[in-house]
Structure 1
């Protein structure tokens, strides 16, 4: 039956098929019976079935109606709860409403990887951890350190909220159809709320977006309207630096400085 389903480009479908890689991923997740885990995009069930074996019950979010029908015929509802719809719009917090910490896993569609990561960050307080397979290039940006070419908006905003680590790579041949890129497994563990101290998270996002909007320009240019020379002096920041040189903590410091001065609106 799995061979009859044609991967759909509009859903970014590439189905994991290598049993050794599947086993390695499940071992990395380490599911334990009784835990509440939700899988995004179960596809043909490569990870779904081994997860269910260890858990007893699994939640999945799937948008493809054909795959939903297939899942319904192969797994009883007492073992598998299917949430039909778009993961970008799904309220993941609803699965942890009773206080049970949620674990999120999945082979995320590469065409929506960045927006879905930002969407999931909104539910970090109710999540124990997240383990995803993504395009290696995206994972390298997620875990990048300041001063590197990969470091950017995605790095700062996710590292503000999560401790992250790249686990291992997955070659194109592990999928059907094979993608044209290498994939990687990444783990995201929410940082304690006490460490996420930005006074205005939305303002932090605006500052980071502005700083990386034109990567080759210095902070003096990218943050013009937000900060003037006196502000840079007060922050003890070199306006000749580029955004990629600043740490997450330094971006938070800029945002907090502006928030404290009541300058959290649009730049002047």
Structure 2
């Protein structure tokens, strides 16, 4: 499907435009928008995913930072469906307010997008802050980031991102996307991942800030034991009281262990 325009990618914005139709079709199939869904795309770029979503669903909200793409996107979208374009930085968009304004019957939105590699983690953490307003997320990211997101304890890539996301979401890697699917082609493989926020009654974190502080400190210096890495937030007695070994390292601790420790500290 032609987008009707071919603005050059801007390296400083981390732009790599998707053009492989088979990959686009797989993403649309994975999202599988249904009547009543409110799909919000982050970084539509030249509309490679936007227009097939519009053709399938008829209505898409998109957040685009690059002003040079706004007018061409709006013009090209008219033949495919209704595009609601939000102009600006996604990190400044209040997803909770957006869901309250435009959300589905449950007051939720569905996020999708090919995320710029240099902003993927900040965008993921921003989405986490609004997880209750989000039904699910389908993102294309650098393959190694998706591997970190889904990693389990004991893995070399298990870290802060893994723990924070898995405490609040079910993380499912879907498929790998080769560099040739983009223009310009990046130097690494990409991958598509699905994140489904857990229902509020399934999230065991009692205090989001306390949990984030514990996880950040634990992985701040990976080679240190919990006793040393967490000395600014918890002593050995608290670590043991949470059922953890003070001489263990962060990458050995499962998500539930961090949750127990953070909840213990928050209740003290």
Taking structure 2 as the reference length, what is the TM-score of the superposition?
A: 0.93
Matches of 2:47 and 2:75, distance apart in 1: 12
Matches of 2:6 and 2:237, distance apart in 1: 65
Q: CA deviation at 1:259?
A: 1.4
- Spell out, residue by residue over 1:35-59, the C-alpha distance to the aligned partner (whole angstroms, 9 max, x if none): 1101111111111111001111110
Please state if 1:44 is matched with 2:46: yes
Please state if 1:79 is matched with 2:82: yes
Q: CA deviation at 1:123?
A: 1.4
Is the partner of 2:92 in helix, strand or coil?
coil
Q: CA deviation at 1:225?
A: 3.4
Change (3 A) 1:32 1:235: closer
CA contact (8 A) 1:133 1:185 kept: yes
CA contact (8 A) 2:6 2:46 kept: no
- Spell out, residue by residue over 1:142-192, the C-alpha distance to the aligned partner (whole angstroms, 9 max, x if none): 001011111100011111110010000000000000001100000000101
Please state if 1:107 is matched with 2:122: no
Change (3 A) 1:30 1:217: same
Change (3 A) 1:4 1:55: closer
Structure 1: give runs of 5+ residues left out of the alignment. Answer: 262-268
Taking structure 1 as the reference length, what is the TM-score of the superposition?
A: 0.93
- Select 2:244's aligned residue among 237, 240, 248: 237
CA contact (8 A) 2:5 2:72 kept: no
- Residue pairs, 1:204-223, within 5 angstroms: 204-223=211-230
What residue number does 1:147 align with? 154
What residue number does 2:97 align with? 94
Runs of 4+ in 1 over 6 A off after TM superposition: none
Is the partner of 1:23 in helix, strand or coil?
helix
RMSD across aligned C-alpha pairs, in angstroms?
1.6
CA contact (8 A) 2:239 2:261 kept: no
Change (3 A) 1:80 1:248: same
CA contact (8 A) 2:5 2:46 kept: no
Structure 2: give runs of 5+ residues left out of the alignment. Answer: none
Is the partner of 1:88 in helix, strand or coil?
helix
